[in-house]
Amino acid sequence: MLPHTPEWLPAIAPWLDLAGLVVFAASGALAAARRGQTMVTLCFFALVTGVGGIIRDVLAGEPSIIMRPEIYVTAAALASGSYVALGLLGVPLPVAAGIAAVAGFSLRAAALHWKLALPAYRKGEPG
């Protein structure tokens, strides 16, 4: 922990990161939609902008969250996939972005609350 870090900060940091994940995923998809991109591109933009925590990990010298079994990228994928699906169904894009953000937030929040994780890859196991 850094010097002068409040005791409560480590407890809320994952929740702040979660808020950033879903807001950036939804806004990335919305930005691509406003530029007339395809739905596949929307999903890609949402996923890439949503997982900015990877950059945070690299800068902090931490193992990337992508390499850990946490449900993180999966939440961004749910948010972006929901956005694309709702857009294809004709839901107005700002509404779809809000629903997608809630979906991604809910999945990641459940993972944080109940300590859910994906199965970890073990070297030498068939994959």
> pLDDT by residue (tens digit) across 87-124?
889 999 889 888 988 998 899 999 989 999 988 767 66
Q: Are 83 and 96 in contact (CB under 8 A)?
A: yes
What pLDDT does residue 114 have?
94
In a domain, residue 1? The reply is: no
- pLDDT-flagged residues of the chain (< 70): 1-3, 52-53, 56, 65-66, 121, 123-127
Give residue for tokens 């929040």: 109
What pLDDT does residue 97 have?
82
In a domain, residue 126? The reply is: no
What pLDDT does residue 53 have?
65
Q: pTM here?
A: 0.72
In a domain, residue 97? The reply is: yes
Name the token pair of 28.
């990335």
In a domain, residue 119? The reply is: no
* Domains of the chain: total: 1
Q: What distance in Å separates the CA atoms of residue 100 and residue 104, rounded to the nearest whole number?
A: 6
In a domain, residue 122? The reply is: no
In a domain, residue 6? The reply is: no
Point out which residues pair with 6 in neighbouring strands.
none
What pLDDT does residue 2 have?
58
Q: How far is CA 103 from CA 22, 90, 100, 113, in A?
A: 9, 18, 5, 15
The angle at the Cα of 66, spanning 64 to 67, to the nearest 5 degrees, equals 75
In a domain, residue 7? The reply is: no
In a domain, residue 3? The reply is: no
Print the domain residue range for 101: 12-114
Number of H helices, E strands in the chain: 5, 0
